[in-house]
Amino acid sequence: MAKRRDSVYTPGERSHDWVKLKLENQQEFVVGGCRPDGESSIDALLVGYYEGSKLRFAGKVRAGLVPHSRRELAAKLAPLRIPQCPFSDLPSGKSRWGGGVTADQMHEMRWTKPELIVQIRFVEWTAEGRLRHAAYLGLRPDKSAAEVRREG
Protein backbone atom coordinates (compact mmCIF):
# COMPACT_ATOMS: atom_id res chain seq x y z
CA MET A 1 0.00 0.00 0.00
CA ALA A 2 1.31 3.44 -0.91
CA LYS A 3 -0.27 6.52 0.57
CA ARG A 4 0.19 10.25 0.90
CA ARG A 5 1.69 11.17 4.25
CA ASP A 6 -1.02 13.67 5.07
CA SER A 7 -3.95 11.44 4.05
CA VAL A 8 -6.29 9.57 6.37
CA TYR A 9 -8.01 6.25 5.87
CA THR A 10 -11.74 6.51 5.24
CA PRO A 11 -13.53 3.15 5.55
CA GLY A 12 -15.67 2.21 2.55
CA GLU A 13 -14.29 4.94 0.28
CA ARG A 14 -11.70 4.78 -2.49
CA SER A 15 -9.17 7.53 -2.89
CA HIS A 16 -6.18 8.30 -5.08
CA ASP A 17 -4.37 9.06 -1.82
CA TRP A 18 -4.12 5.32 -1.05
CA VAL A 19 -2.95 3.01 -3.84
CA LYS A 20 -2.53 -0.75 -3.70
CA LEU A 21 0.74 -1.87 -5.28
CA LYS A 22 1.49 -5.43 -6.33
CA LEU A 23 5.20 -6.19 -6.44
CA GLU A 24 6.33 -9.03 -8.67
CA ASN A 25 9.61 -10.77 -9.33
CA GLN A 26 11.12 -11.86 -12.62
CA GLN A 27 13.79 -14.40 -13.36
CA GLU A 28 14.98 -16.67 -16.13
CA PHE A 29 14.38 -20.42 -15.79
CA VAL A 30 15.42 -23.56 -17.64
CA VAL A 31 12.67 -25.59 -19.32
CA GLY A 32 12.99 -29.27 -18.41
CA GLY A 33 9.70 -30.43 -19.87
CA CYS A 34 6.10 -29.64 -20.56
CA ARG A 35 2.60 -30.98 -20.23
CA PRO A 36 1.41 -31.42 -23.82
CA ASP A 37 -1.88 -30.24 -25.22
CA GLY A 38 -2.17 -32.33 -28.36
CA GLU A 39 0.69 -32.94 -30.76
CA SER A 40 1.58 -29.37 -31.70
CA SER A 41 0.86 -27.38 -28.54
CA ILE A 42 1.65 -27.34 -24.83
CA ASP A 43 -0.52 -26.80 -21.78
CA ALA A 44 2.21 -25.91 -19.27
CA LEU A 45 5.97 -25.50 -19.03
CA LEU A 46 7.95 -27.29 -16.33
CA VAL A 47 10.74 -24.95 -15.28
CA GLY A 48 13.70 -25.04 -12.93
CA TYR A 49 17.13 -23.71 -12.04
CA TYR A 50 20.53 -25.18 -11.33
CA GLU A 51 21.80 -25.78 -7.82
CA GLY A 52 25.32 -27.02 -8.38
CA SER A 53 24.99 -29.66 -11.09
CA LYS A 54 21.37 -30.55 -10.19
CA LEU A 55 18.37 -29.13 -12.04
CA ARG A 56 15.82 -28.24 -9.35
CA PHE A 57 12.11 -28.02 -10.17
CA ALA A 58 10.60 -24.55 -9.60
CA GLY A 59 7.08 -25.06 -10.91
CA LYS A 60 4.55 -25.36 -13.71
CA VAL A 61 3.82 -22.27 -15.76
CA ARG A 62 0.54 -21.88 -17.68
CA ALA A 63 -0.30 -18.19 -17.39
CA GLY A 64 0.99 -16.01 -20.19
CA LEU A 65 0.99 -18.87 -22.68
CA VAL A 66 -1.18 -17.62 -25.54
CA PRO A 67 -1.98 -19.96 -28.46
CA HIS A 68 0.88 -18.64 -30.60
CA SER A 69 3.49 -19.05 -27.85
CA ARG A 70 2.16 -22.54 -27.00
CA ARG A 71 2.74 -23.65 -30.60
CA GLU A 72 6.12 -21.89 -30.84
CA LEU A 73 7.38 -23.47 -27.63
CA ALA A 74 6.10 -26.91 -28.65
CA ALA A 75 8.08 -26.62 -31.92
CA LYS A 76 11.26 -25.54 -30.09
CA LEU A 77 10.93 -28.29 -27.47
CA ALA A 78 10.17 -31.15 -29.91
CA PRO A 79 13.81 -31.71 -31.03
CA LEU A 80 14.96 -31.52 -27.39
CA ARG A 81 12.75 -34.39 -26.22
CA ILE A 82 14.36 -37.02 -23.98
CA PRO A 83 12.88 -40.10 -22.25
CA GLN A 84 13.91 -39.31 -18.65
CA CYS A 85 12.96 -36.50 -16.30
CA PRO A 86 15.91 -34.06 -16.00
CA PHE A 87 14.79 -32.65 -12.63
CA SER A 88 16.52 -34.04 -9.55
CA ASP A 89 13.50 -33.53 -7.27
CA LEU A 90 10.52 -34.89 -9.23
CA PRO A 91 8.02 -36.34 -8.62
CA SER A 92 6.94 -34.04 -5.83
CA GLY A 93 3.81 -34.07 -3.75
CA LYS A 94 0.91 -31.74 -4.32
CA SER A 95 1.70 -28.32 -3.01
CA ARG A 96 -0.73 -25.88 -1.47
CA TRP A 97 -0.52 -23.73 -4.61
CA GLY A 98 -0.79 -26.63 -7.09
CA GLY A 99 2.72 -26.28 -8.48
CA GLY A 100 3.97 -29.81 -8.01
CA VAL A 101 4.07 -32.87 -10.26
CA THR A 102 2.90 -36.05 -8.55
CA ALA A 103 4.05 -39.57 -9.36
CA ASP A 104 0.71 -40.19 -11.11
CA GLN A 105 1.23 -37.15 -13.36
CA MET A 106 4.82 -38.02 -14.40
CA HIS A 107 3.64 -40.16 -17.35
CA GLU A 108 1.68 -37.18 -18.78
CA MET A 109 4.78 -35.00 -19.08
CA ARG A 110 7.20 -34.67 -21.99
CA TRP A 111 10.78 -34.28 -20.82
CA THR A 112 13.33 -32.17 -22.66
CA LYS A 113 17.05 -31.50 -22.57
CA PRO A 114 17.44 -28.52 -20.24
CA GLU A 115 18.60 -26.07 -22.91
CA LEU A 116 15.71 -23.65 -23.54
CA ILE A 117 15.63 -20.59 -21.26
CA VAL A 118 12.47 -18.58 -20.54
CA GLN A 119 11.71 -15.40 -18.61
CA ILE A 120 9.05 -15.87 -15.91
CA ARG A 121 7.18 -13.34 -13.76
CA PHE A 122 6.04 -14.52 -10.32
CA VAL A 123 4.80 -13.17 -7.00
CA GLU A 124 7.01 -15.14 -4.61
CA TRP A 125 8.71 -18.41 -3.75
CA THR A 126 6.56 -20.73 -1.62
CA ALA A 127 7.83 -22.51 1.49
CA GLU A 128 8.17 -25.64 -0.70
CA GLY A 129 10.51 -23.76 -3.06
CA ARG A 130 7.95 -23.39 -5.87
CA LEU A 131 6.90 -20.36 -7.86
CA ARG A 132 3.63 -18.74 -6.86
CA HIS A 133 1.45 -17.13 -9.57
CA ALA A 134 4.03 -17.67 -12.32
CA ALA A 135 3.51 -16.31 -15.85
CA TYR A 136 5.49 -16.80 -19.05
CA LEU A 137 6.99 -13.60 -20.49
CA GLY A 138 9.19 -14.87 -23.33
CA LEU A 139 12.30 -16.70 -24.47
CA ARG A 140 15.81 -15.79 -23.30
CA PRO A 141 18.20 -16.75 -26.12
CA ASP A 142 20.95 -14.60 -24.54
CA LYS A 143 21.45 -16.99 -21.58
CA SER A 144 22.86 -20.48 -21.29
CA ALA A 145 21.20 -23.08 -19.08
CA ALA A 146 24.29 -23.52 -16.89
CA GLU A 147 24.05 -19.85 -15.83
CA VAL A 148 20.51 -20.15 -14.43
CA ARG A 149 20.50 -20.14 -10.62
CA ARG A 150 17.78 -19.27 -8.12
CA GLU A 151 17.70 -15.56 -7.38
CA GLY A 152 16.34 -14.18 -4.15
| 152 belongs to a structural domain | no
Give the pLDDT of residue 95.
58
Per 3-state DSSP, the chain is made up of helix, strand and coil in percentages (nearest 5) of 15, 35, 50
| 16 belongs to a structural domain | no
Residue 83's identity, in one-letter code, is P
| 70 belongs to a structural domain | yes
Cβ proximity of 44 and 134 under 8 Å: no
Tell me which residue range forms the domain holding 103: 24-147
| 102 belongs to a structural domain | yes
The CATH number that applies at residue 114 is 2.40.50.140
Give the pLDDT of residue 1.
73
| 6 belongs to a structural domain | no
> Rounded distance, CA 149 to CA 147, Å?
6
Structurally, the chain folds into a number of domains equal to 1
Cα-based torsion angle of the residue sequence 45, 114, 93, 151 in order, rounded to the nearest 10 degrees? -90
Q: Please report, in tens digits, the pLDDT of each residue of the chain (152 residues total).
A: 788 888 887 788 787 777 877 778 999 999 999 999 988 899 999 999 999 999 999 999 999 999 999 999 999 999 999 999 999 998 886 655 556 788 888 999 999 999 999 999 999 998 888 999 999 999 999 999 999 999 97
| 2 belongs to a structural domain | no
DSSP secondary structure, 37-76, as one string: SSSS-EEEEEEEEEETTEEEEEEEE-BT--HHHHHHHHHH
Nearest to 109 by CA among 72, 82, 76: 82
